[in-house]
Amino acid sequence: MRASLVSCLVLVLACGGDDAASPDGGGGGGSDASVASDAPTGCMRTTAAADRPRFVVISHPYDAAGERAPVFEVLELSAAGALTRVQPPRLFSLAKRASFGTVEFTPDGQVGIVALEDGSLGVFRLDAAGMPTVVHAGLTGSYYATKVVIDPRGDRAWILEGNTRGNGGGIYLVTIACDGTLTDHGLFAAADLPGALAFTNDGRAIVGARDVLDANTEGNDIQLVRWTEPPTAVAGVDVFGADESVGGAALTADGATFLVGDRSGFGAAPNSVAVVGVGASSLSKVGVITPLEDPNAIATSPFGDVAIVTSAFGDHIFVLDKGGTNGAWRSRGTVPYLNGVRPMLPGDLATVSRGMLQGHVFVSENVSVRHLAFRASGMVEDLGSLQLGSGLDNISGVIGVTP
């Protein structure tokens, strides 16, 4: 099983902001605005040039004997979009392995942070040539990290602990120094089983959680909260009708629609993707796309209302769009795979949000990395896969791409 079955609901956090960036594989849209501006700050960073060589970082959670491995690899991505593996492979190790999730980067692409399987944070720096330096092999703190979202300003990160409220569940804050070292500032917002956080195009954010703060959120899957100090609940909506297991989640590029997957293996209803309308101070259930087996990760196009959904159990990558009756969201089928070669265990993904490669998506598969591209026409093109080899030590886990 490529992704953990974390049972959580979804929370939308409303706060002030400015410019938008397109979504990433961490679960939704990005923003150049920052939330909770009066929170502690770290090293402010300049966003890297949009068209330059980038780097894709993946984990290898197994060694050749099938034992757990804390190994990560840096792949090179040219400005023209060619993904290559350095020979010998450019490997480095952290304290523990990471099988599921994403590697998140500061806007300058210099610092990467990943939640490790023991709840610690692995932190590393990349130089201009993509050579890694480990900053924290496994930093423990007040959190048990299950997901990382770096603030758009790049000076701090929001750490999700996907536990129950009574056992420390919530959103934690760390600041990032210029050398990449982290400082733990503790719990920022208590929540029950938080599983996702994504900024909208105007500075709001989406977080997966059964409840948050002191608001009575029972029966609602999605909550609207003003993310100030102190944060306050605004609105909520029930989209699944039950406490389902949330998988992938993403905002459309305009921040008006939130797509969230239910990938429960135990519920009576088939797996699905819910479509939620996001208003200034309200939320609405727009529809449900079902059946859609195991919606593990979702990415949305920067060019319009199109999304892709990876399905590890189904070994497919589905395309969603608004081609249904009266413009309703629907599944239009699978990506037209290059040479008809379907994916094997497609899992987490990472998206380039700026420049000539805007809309290019990299999907972690069994022993490969698939390269897709959203096109302005609404099509999704399969550009092929980088094959890593047949050994157990070539299995890929988490993935991230420098901004």
Q: pLDDT tens for residues 253-279? A: 988 998 988 877 666 778 889 999 988
- If one counts every other C-beta atom within 10 angstroms of the C-beta of residue 150, the result is 24
Q: Are 261 and 240 in contact (CB under 8 A)?
A: no
Specify if 3 maps to a domain.
no
Straight-line distance from the first to the last Cα atom of the chain, in angstroms, rounded to the nearest whole number: 29
Coil/strand/helix, residue 233: strand
- The answer to whether residue 33 sits within a structural domain is yes
Give me the CATH number covering residue 295. 2.130.10.10
Determine phi and psi for 180, rounding to 5 degrees: 95, -5
Domain that holds residue 220: 10-401
Q: What whole-number distance in Å separates Cα of residue 369 and Cα of residue 358?
A: 18
Q: Is residue 5 part of a domain?
A: no
pTM value is 0.89
- Give Dmax (Cα) for the chain: 55
Q: How many whole angstroms separate alpha carbon 67 and alpha carbon 347?
A: 20
Q: Given this model, what pLDDT does residue 88 score? A: 95
Asked whether residue 2 is assigned to any structural domain, the reply reads no
Mean predicted lDDT score pLDDT of the chain: 86
- CA dist 209 and 25 (Å) reads 19
380 assigned to some structural domain: yes
**Residue 188 C-alpha from the chain's centroid:** 20
Tally of domains in the chain: 1
**97-113 tens-digit pLDDT:** 999 999 999 999 999 99
pLDDT tier at 198, thresholds 50, 70, 90: confident
d(CA 150, CA 26): 10
Range scoring the smallest mean pLDDT among 22-26, 57-61, 129-133: 22-26
Question: How far apart, in whole angstroms, are the C-alpha atoms of residue 110 and residue 254?
Answer: 28
Rounded to whole angstroms, the Cα distance separating 257 from 275 reads 7
Query: pLDDT-based confidence at 153, cuts 50/70/90?
Result: confident
- 376 within some domain: yes
State residue 17's pLDDT score: 35
| Local structure of 112: helix, strand or coil | strand
Query: Residue 27: what pLDDT?
Result: 41
Mean pLDDT across the stretch 203-210?
71
β-pair type (54-62, 68-77): antiparallel
Query: Is residue 4 situated within a structural domain?
Result: no
Phi, psi of 375 (to 5 degrees): -110, 155
Position 219 confidence tier, pLDDT thresholds 50, 70, 90 = low
What per-residue confidence (pLDDT) applies to 21?
35
| Residue 353: inside a domain | yes
